[in-house]
Structure 1
């Protein structure tokens, strides 16, 4: 259940306070006072068997005694009474309840949910402050203040933070569309509210305070959908280490850590900030400056010190200052006195008259491709700040916005600051705050770009062998082992097209090691093999650059002595002998995977080697990965700069590194028993990559695999080959890589066919819209393309898609085929594929809107069993519906 009946929670026609009281300081008294004092115009009732009247209004003794069905109930009674009250409310017809009551034990909480479920009654809480809907004057909370109406929705997991935030926002005149305390999230959770607020017209941006996430796939689907519609900004408690538990692999130590949550927020296209102040700073910046696409910043100021402060802040936040063009410098020279700064920051000197501000701003406006402009002004006695603001405002007003204001001081600049704000110009108290806001905007855009980036069409690649990998894992588990030996781990990687160094296993005898070395070819590396030793270097279990057989024998004998002394109880299986790879200009990397307790399988990339923990240069990504996502994962590390080449060292083969990350992502999907994986080092240079060492831990409970991915991967099982009119076609779900192919398909359609499908003849389509059509959430949307492959090139012949509501009750469909192929049965083929898939996914109804003149589509719908619904819109369209389940009931 997701957004069902949430409108009753936040826009009810009537409300009852259960447990309303006159006892000073009680929750019931505060809730009742807040309901009475607000401007809520709907029916309002109090329920408490101890009273007959409160504040001159009647009080009812029971739910059944209420004169009408309350759409919303606010419950603030003892924990033991809550399940019974929810059952009574549901039976009466109430659709939502805010359960402020705390202290419910697990059994009581479950009983509450069981009572609500038959009636689809939604529960916010328990143990929450409540909810406020300022636009309708509803205050269903025990907060000490009301919220002002506005366009920001604030959702908090912390009740104490709700009241503090109300105080903070009231002092700054910040308004809200919704103000919601989640409490224990027994029913309504972050995913539900993200879905609801994403389509709420009163909400411009969504602000979240999160302590924990429960249903990760639901959360990620809702977050990705919401972030495509409007800014979603998150403060997450617990940035510090998650506890530093001991782990057998480097990657495993990160499971449950804050870096994983950070990766999830980035993947969803949201913005994470550190503090509550930054939460509102980001929201206001995105409101006033969101359309600016600049990556660099130009500082315009009347004071050298203020410019230096801004430049220092930019350097500390990795915000590049714009490089002024030669023409811009020449024009500024002509307008400014000789003593101006001749660079960025642009210091126009403290004695500047109004005309100098205007002239400098005009020049920078003409150089807008060079970035955004931050105007920092310190008050002087030369010209009142208000005059400067009035003169600059006409130049500052622009779409997209390009100017940020920073009026330093207080009394002397208050009118100028007010004028800028009233003019819609983003304004900040200090240069540091302004630069931080710009930095947040850059991060937000980068996350949004990742949502929309289209991967290239995959070229020929080595085929992975899932069956070989599964056989290796099954053999180890059958033997009762949860760690693969190093040779087994490398065989597993080789099955997924990851190059590994030639490795042989031998008995724990020096002579056996020498024979293996001779067979491989010298020089070699020698490593101990033991299920009880995972970090071999820590116990002297690694020897490198062994040039001859005597060196191998000697190293093997010494190694056995060291290991037995350091780990006397360790069982030694033998030695791993591998070819010594000599690539002097290669970079050591680490690639890993582990299972996060919340978000499931995660992938790590960073600088590798023996000092991996000390360097802590790593980034985390959520599978599934494609090329843009793998590239973004690499770019978030410091080692990425060295991979680009330096001091005569050629760039490493980045595509080869990306393929390793993508293949590890696929391995996690195909082999669910993988619990931890480290490739360290994976060495990379211009010749490619090769894994020198690997360790893999298994878990028979299968914590990886597609069901545990926070983001549903491409549903390969839905790909099928079919014959149509003597042609071999592929019916498959659409892919992100299909963008160019889909654009060609749309361009091929006749204008009339487009009009019949989307009710207008628009032919031009932006990249962002194409990305939405091809980069779909497979958990919520189905989109099948019929493609024909001719001479190795795919061509889309038709597409059918359906978008489900968050409750999976209804899915609205659309279908279109190439203009020259209509009437040949291709539409029927696609619709049957769509219908079968939605039935298997449990969708209740397939619905559609069809132009009355589109007889071909209406006839196809009739053939498929759709019913035509009574006309409600009063136009030339027809609503059609197909029940997909035997017990389907309309909402």
Structure 2
């Protein structure tokens, strides 16, 4: 990161506005007016070829004509003029630019060409950094910098907001004035043609005016940089992110259970978790969190105490907190005795602490002070409902006073309308987060705790080198073929090279048999499968393998065989095989008449009576790369919605986390007298599968479904892989 160049954008000493104008309603006019009216202390020069004076200031025809080189140039001219202007700025020695102009890649083919030209020119000047194009601009209240066309200048604060939506920026800035939320910086990022999200996170992680970052993300051009920057930042400063576009349609996802379950949004979820980013699911939720992030208090525990003058809202808050998986504080015996001595006999005698509807300021104050002193309390929620004897403003002042005597976070919920407005205003002015309803308060408090407790996020090194898969490791796993099960092949130093060469020549679905051969080559036990091209051959193979057997259609055009009736199970004799063969092909013909049939797979039937079917899959996310999936398997895998995703590196810790996150895990571990499965073998297979996916980048999707797991063995009963051919980089 070139911090010097970014300093020219966020801490400039001089600014030029290209396209500055006196024309009402023009973007250039709005930007120039905002810069001048915000009180920016340095020179602001208008650049306009057609006018000698703009805003009662001398205007210059070109950047080259300016009396000195500006730190920052803001461009508000038509898109076609921008590449030439970038070259002009680069030649003048400008290091910082904000291109507000629209009409680039968001505008179709012509716009994409313009943006390519913009980048080509920018690349001629490596030290020149550029925000945009197609953005609202940048606001830095503490520097009195409003280099945007936003009509609102927010108050100065300690939050930095990075947004990929300019329109959202304007709405949130307007909202922040009403809610008295301040910002250190607001950046509308636009198309991120040059400066991306990762680089800005790096910059503001070091910014002494920023205590926390809020992100609105629609997509990432450099996911690895984002992840490394976020992971480093969240060790010191929380990041709250809202990801827009959670449910994109994807026809490719339907090609496999893994593709459908490892959706783009699910991958973002695991990436955020790895990087320590706290995710919210709405803009409202993000700025509920903003209220609490502006406060000075921090906590590493999650034990919440509630003080309220109404039982119902206290129960609502308790339910909301427990639903989030967080514990209520268990008040100490000393605290309970002290409360008994100071509160009416009919108080709740526990947490929530109900001080009753007739509570005075003094009663509220007493309860708050006693509960805050309890070492078993990590945070507090104070709830007030307006009743005849309630003084919302005075009680708010008592909460403010208490907040200044403790390091524990205090949030408030003043429920009501006009009656409680004065109290809310007192709390907001003192930066005590106040919410309309208790559910909002506990949700935001939980986000704060989660963000802070992620100061040491686990896993995910974006620059990770793959560990060696040494011959000694593989030789320890070699077992012969037993009972029709291939366990592994001998170690082959050229294994990766062989498979990559083959995959590079293959584009699309890889058949079950070849997929199983690949798995076996990587030490994963599979059920041996043969292919028949006639009913007589199927019978012969079944007799060789020994009954019972399974028949499955083999076709490059059929991904989910059960959907077309392409599977027959538990065939116990030759007659069953003949009937099953003919019935299965007839069903496939009805449901997929245009599918090319390459044969019928015959394999030994493996009983799952004592086993559990698991799905093990991988996918290549277009932004984050390799994703590993583990979940409940079988034909109902998607319906069960029980799965875990992870990004590299894959190790024992990661695999344990995946297994324990499944609702299925109690069954895998053993449940109510039912023996557990061989978890060590299962973990071993998961790691081998992950290493295979890392070694073979041409694989874009792959899955074992089902992977049968029993008390003494793990084996792949079915598998499919999809190769991108030569599309994947070496």
- On whether the aligned pair clears a TM of 0.5, the verdict is yes
For 1:522 and 1:395, how far apart are their aligned partners in 2? 77
Equivalent position to 1:603, from 628, 644, 653: 628
Alpha-carbon deviations, 1:560-613, whole Å to 9, x = none? 333344444434333333333334353322221122222222222222211123
User: What displacement does 1:270 show?
Assistant: 0.8
Match of 2:216 in 1: 209
For 1:544 and 1:503, how far apart are their aligned partners in 2? 15
User: Where do 1:800-879 residues align within 5 Å?
Assistant: none
Match of 1:115 in 2: 121
Match of 1:90 in 2: 90
User: What displacement does 1:61 show?
Assistant: 1.9
Match of 2:53 in 1: 53
User: What displacement does 1:621 show?
Assistant: 2.5
User: What displacement does 1:514 show?
Assistant: 3.9
Match of 1:309 in 2: 316
For 1:453 and 1:620, how far apart are their aligned partners in 2? 12
For 1:605 and 1:613, how far apart are their aligned partners in 2? 12
For 1:469 and 1:280, how far apart are their aligned partners in 2? 52
Match of 1:138 in 2: 145
Match of 1:264 in 2: 271
User: What displacement does 1:6 show?
Assistant: 0.8
User: What displacement does 1:210 show?
Assistant: 1.5
Match of 2:169 in 1: 162
User: Where do 1:327-406 residues align within 5 Å?
Assistant: 337=344, 339-352=346-359, 357=364, 360-361=367-368, 364-365=371-372, 368-369=375-376, 372-382=379-389, 384-388=391-395, 396-397=403-404, 400-406=407-413
User: What displacement does 1:72 show?
Assistant: 0.9
User: What displacement does 1:697 show?
Assistant: 1.2
Match of 1:106 in 2: 112
User: What displacement does 1:34 show?
Assistant: 1.0
**3-state SS of paired residue (2:357):** coil
**3-state SS of paired residue (1:575):** strand
**3-state SS of paired residue (2:74):** strand
Greater RCO (Cα-Cα under 8 Å, separation 6 or more): 2
Query: Is contact 1:159–1:181 with CA below 8 Å preserved after alignment?
Result: yes
User: What displacement does 1:695 show?
Assistant: 0.8
Query: Is contact 1:133–1:139 with CA below 8 Å preserved after alignment?
Result: yes
**3-state SS of paired residue (2:619):** strand
For 2:612 and 2:454, how far apart are their aligned partners in 1? 28
2:433 is aligned with 1:407: no
User: What displacement does 1:308 show?
Assistant: 2.4
Assess, with a 3 A threshold, how the Cα gap between structure 1 residues 168 and 496 changes in structure 2: closer, same or farther: same
Alpha-carbon deviations, 1:527-586, whole Å to 9, x = none? 222223221112222222333444344433433333344444434333333333334353
**3-state SS of paired residue (1:675):** strand
2:206 is aligned with 1:181: no
Query: Is contact 2:361–2:398 with CA below 8 Å preserved after alignment?
Result: yes
2:599 is aligned with 1:574: yes
Match of 1:497 in 2: 523
Query: Is contact 1:256–1:597 with CA below 8 Å preserved after alignment?
Result: no
Match of 1:300 in 2: 307
For 1:466 and 1:122, how far apart are their aligned partners in 2? 49
Match of 1:542 in 2: 567
User: Where do 1:608-623 residues align within 5 Å?
Assistant: 608-623=633-648
Match of 2:240 in 1: 233
Match of 2:482 in 1: none
Query: Is contact 1:476–1:482 with CA below 8 Å preserved after alignment?
Result: no
For 2:405 and 2:149, how far apart are their aligned partners in 1? 43
Query: Is contact 1:22–1:54 with CA below 8 Å preserved after alignment?
Result: yes
For 1:482 and 1:111, how far apart are their aligned partners in 2? 35
For 1:540 and 1:473, how far apart are their aligned partners in 2? 31
User: What displacement does 1:3 show?
Assistant: 4.5
User: What displacement does 1:228 show?
Assistant: 2.4
For 2:162 and 2:450, how far apart are their aligned partners in 1? 22
Query: Is contact 2:703–2:720 with CA below 8 Å preserved after alignment?
Result: yes
* Root-mean-square deviation over aligned CA pairs: 3.4
For 1:402 and 1:657, how far apart are their aligned partners in 2? 43
Match of 1:488 in 2: 514
Query: Is contact 1:466–1:670 with CA below 8 Å preserved after alignment?
Result: no
Q: Which moved more, 1:29-38 or 1:581-590?
A: 581-590
**3-state SS of paired residue (2:124):** helix
User: What displacement does 1:634 show?
Assistant: 4.1
For 1:510 and 1:330, how far apart are their aligned partners in 2? 83
For 1:633 and 1:413, how far apart are their aligned partners in 2? 47
Structure 2 alignment gaps of length 5 or more: 105-110, 462-466, 478-487
Q: Which moved more, 1:425-434 or 1:338-347?
A: 338-347
User: What displacement does 1:381 show?
Assistant: 4.0
Match of 2:705 in 1: 680
TM-score by length of 2: 0.86
2:231 is aligned with 1:224: yes
Query: Is contact 1:508–1:572 with CA below 8 Å preserved after alignment?
Result: no
Query: Is contact 1:71–1:93 with CA below 8 Å preserved after alignment?
Result: no
Q: Which moved more, 1:231-240 or 1:320-329?
A: 320-329
For 2:679 and 2:376, how far apart are their aligned partners in 1? 30
Query: Is contact 1:476–1:484 with CA below 8 Å preserved after alignment?
Result: no
Match of 2:555 in 1: 530
Query: Is contact 2:21–2:48 with CA below 8 Å preserved after alignment?
Result: yes
For 1:410 and 1:148, how far apart are their aligned partners in 2? 25
Query: Is contact 1:269–1:447 with CA below 8 Å preserved after alignment?
Result: yes
**3-state SS of paired residue (1:441):** helix
For 2:460 and 2:499, how far apart are their aligned partners in 1? 35
2:447 is aligned with 1:440: yes
For 1:475 and 1:55, how far apart are their aligned partners in 2? 66
Q: Which moved more, 1:526-535 or 1:349-358?
A: 349-358
Assess, with a 3 A threshold, how the Cα gap between structure 1 residues 585 and 406 changes in structure 2: closer, same or farther: farther
For 1:366 and 1:585, how far apart are their aligned partners in 2? 54
For 1:143 and 1:488, how far apart are their aligned partners in 2? 59
Alpha-carbon deviations, 1:308-367, whole Å to 9, x = none? 221343355444445667787677666655544455434343234556545655664465
User: What displacement does 1:249 show?
Assistant: 1.3
**3-state SS of paired residue (1:506):** strand
For 1:259 and 1:548, how far apart are their aligned partners in 2? 45
Paired positions, count: 702
Query: Is contact 1:289–1:426 with CA below 8 Å preserved after alignment?
Result: no
**3-state SS of paired residue (1:375):** strand
Q: Which moved more, 1:175-184 or 1:521-530?
A: 521-530
**3-state SS of paired residue (1:153):** strand
Query: Is contact 2:180–2:429 with CA below 8 Å preserved after alignment?
Result: no
User: Where do 1:628-647 residues align within 5 Å?
Assistant: 628-640=653-665, 642-643=667-668, 645-647=670-672
For 1:415 and 1:540, how far apart are their aligned partners in 2? 69
2:452 is aligned with 1:427: no
2:706 is aligned with 1:699: no
User: What displacement does 1:16 show?
Assistant: 0.8
Assess, with a 3 A threshold, how the Cα gap between structure 1 residues 646 and 283 changes in structure 2: closer, same or farther: farther
For 1:143 and 1:510, how far apart are their aligned partners in 2? 74
For 2:61 and 2:707, how far apart are their aligned partners in 1? 71
Structure 1 alignment gaps of length 5 or more: 708-891
Match of 2:134 in 1: 127
User: What displacement does 1:165 show?
Assistant: 1.6
For 1:688 and 1:405, how far apart are their aligned partners in 2? 55
**3-state SS of paired residue (1:229):** coil
For 1:393 and 1:141, how far apart are their aligned partners in 2? 36
**3-state SS of paired residue (1:293):** coil
User: What displacement does 1:129 show?
Assistant: 1.5
Assess, with a 3 A threshold, how the Cα gap between structure 1 residues 52 and 198 changes in structure 2: closer, same or farther: same
Query: Is contact 1:397–1:423 with CA below 8 Å preserved after alignment?
Result: no
For 1:689 and 1:445, how far apart are their aligned partners in 2? 40
Assess, with a 3 A threshold, how the Cα gap between structure 1 residues 602 and 289 changes in structure 2: closer, same or farther: farther
TM-score by length of 1: 0.72
For 1:650 and 1:329, how far apart are their aligned partners in 2? 45
